Amino acid sequence: MIGAAVHPDQRLLRVTSPPSRDTDDSPAPLTEPTDLGFGRVVAQAVRGRFLNRDGKPNSLKYGLGAQRTARFYLAALDAGWTAFIGWMMGVLLLLNGCFALAYLALGDDALRGTQQLGLLDPFLSAFTFSVGMFTTTGTGVLYAYGPTANWLANFEAFVGPITLVVAFGLLIARLTRPRMRLGFSESAIIAPYEGGRALMFRIVNLQPGEVSDVRVRVNLAWFEDFGGVRERNFHTLALERNSVEFFTLHWTIVAPITADSPLAGATPESLAASQAEFLIFVDALEQTFSTRVSTRSSYVWDEIRWDVKFASIFANGPDGVIAIDVERLSRTERLEDGATRQPAALERAGAGQPRP
């Protein structure tokens, strides 16, 4: 296996049963339910999805106040670089513009030395003086005249450096923050696999930095009927493999639908009726900062495609180099209608389980 380019058709990579601890130290596929922390009351009351596609919880907390500072800090860390630089420059220009207007409000005689710079526009003169005071780079021949103008200049000399420290602190926090940005296929699919079928989706690392020791857990949340009582339950799906050491290419994650799988006998109609949601948790070792990072996502029932298979993601690269085209991550190929129908044996096995 090279770079975790795992494909379900590669027979040498098949793992369909937990490995023996005596012969294999790799983690066994997860089969036992785990507590996701939602609580029984919340699990039964929620009617929407638990996680959004970007991994953020679909929830709110009231009674904590506005928390504007903390929210601003988190938004600054999560924003894209273009938006971050744009907002930072916009705020700095806005503050300097406000100070420039304040100097203009004090009259034409509040600032002197503009003639030596050849500045005829009063606002441009005041803005140039403000930038020099704000950034502590100096104002040259420009100087404030009068007690009010000097008090305003002194105040700006305090506000400017503090604002710049905050701005550059956010910049440093972004640069030194370990993170992992994964691309998930637009849809998960249920496709033929090993004479049966399996739930599959693909992920790829979208950042140039390398991650390794990648571990995945997939939980199914859906409603089931037990003796006429409808309740939501969580199941941890057993995966073909739940970890890979190298992740330089892409990874097709496969959850085989066997006789003991909660998805045995599932159909598009049953997934819709049960409001099924597949919760995905990924954590890995980020090698740049040598620390573990994590990300999350989910697929709901109407984001599952049937009777399709993933198209090849591999591309032509230089000799001796394996290459993929990330734009093909979500590309699928149509199969014959009913190609992903469950084998009869599994249909009968699934018929004995509680169904939505």
pLDDT in tens, 345-355: 444 344 444 44
pTM of this structure:
0.74
pLDDT score of 52: 83
pLDDT score of 11: 37
The token duo for 263 is 């998805």
Q: Name the least confident of 7-11, 106-110, 208-212.
A: 7-11
> Which of the pair, 139 or 45, is modelled with greater confidence?
139
For residue range 267-285, list pLDDT tens digits in order: 999 999 999 999 999 999 9
Q: What is the mean pLDDT of residues 90-97?
A: 96
pLDDT score of 10: 42
Q: What is the mean pLDDT of residues 69-96?
A: 93
Q: Name the least confident of 89-98, 158-167, 219-228.
A: 219-228
Counting Cα atoms < 13 Å in the Cβ hemisphere of 87 gives 16
Helices (H) and strands (E) in the chain, counts: 8, 16
- What is the radius of gyration, based on Cα positions, of the chain? 29
The three-state secondary structure class of 336 is coil
Amino acid (one-letter) located at 172:
I
pLDDT score of 280: 95
The three-state secondary structure class of 214 is strand
> Which of the pair, 25 or 178, is modelled with greater confidence?
178
Taking a C-beta distance cutoff of 8 angstroms, is the pair 217, 30 a contact? yes
Using CA atoms, how far residue 67 sits from 63, 164, 349, in Å, is: 10, 22, 52
Pairing mode of beta strands 243-246, 277-286: unpaired
If pLDDT is split at 50, 70 and 90, which confidence band does 96 have?
A: very high
9: left (phi over 0), alpha (psi -120 to 50) or beta: alpha
Query: Is pLDDT of 181 > 50?
Result: yes
Give the residue carrying structure tokens 């006789």: 259
DSSP 112-140: E-HHHHT---HHHHHHHHHHHHHHTS--T
Using CA atoms, how far residue 192 sits from 11, 214, 333, in Å, is: 14, 25, 12
CA angle 28, 199, 57 (to 5 degrees): 85
For residue range 305-322, list pLDDT tens digits in order: 998 999 999 988 888 888
